[in-house]
A = this chain, B = another copy of it.
Amino acid sequence: MGRAKRMERVVALTKQLTDHPHQLFSFSYFCKKFEIAKSTLSEDVLAVKTGLELYGLGRVETLAGAAGGVRFIPGRSAKEDHDFLQDLAIKLSVPDRILPGGLLYTTDLLCIPDVVVRLGEIIMKHTRHLEPDCIMTVETRGIPLALFVARAFNVPLVMARHSSQITEGSAVNINYVSGSSKMIQTMAMPKRALQPGSRVLMVDDFMKGGGTARGMLNLAKEVGAEVVGKAFMIVTAEPENKMVDDYTALFMLHSVNELENKIFIEPVQVKE
A residues in contact (CB < 8 Å) with B: 3-4, 6-12, 14-16, 18-20, 47-48, 50-52, 54-55, 57-58, 99-101, 103-105, 107-108, 111-114, 116-117, 139-141, 143-144, 147, 150-151, 154-159, 161, 165-169, 190, 192-193, 206
Contact = CB atoms under 8 A, between A and B. Distances in A.
A15 B158 CA distance: 29
B51 A12 contact: yes
A12 B55 contact: yes
A9 to B, nearest CB: 7
A58 B161 CA distance: 36
A11 B51 CA distance: 5
21 contacts: A7-B7, A8-B51, A9-B51, A10-B10, A12-B51, A15-B58, A16-B55, A18-B18, A19-B57, A99-B169, A101-B166, A103-B167, A112-B157, A113-B147, A113-B157, A114-B154, A139-B139, A140-B143, A140-B161, A141-B159, A167-B206
A59 to B, nearest CB: 12
B14 A107 contact: no
What is the total number of copies of this protein in its complex? Answer: 2
Contacts of A158: 111
B7 A47 contact: yes
Nearest to A162: B140
A129 B9 CA distance: 30
A192 B156 CA distance: 31
Contacts of A18: 15, 18-19
Given A11-B51, A18-B19, 7 more contacts: A7-B7, A7-B47, A8-B51, A10-B11, A112-B156, A140-B140, A141-B168
A167 B154 CA distance: 30
Contacts of A113: 147, 150-151, 154-157
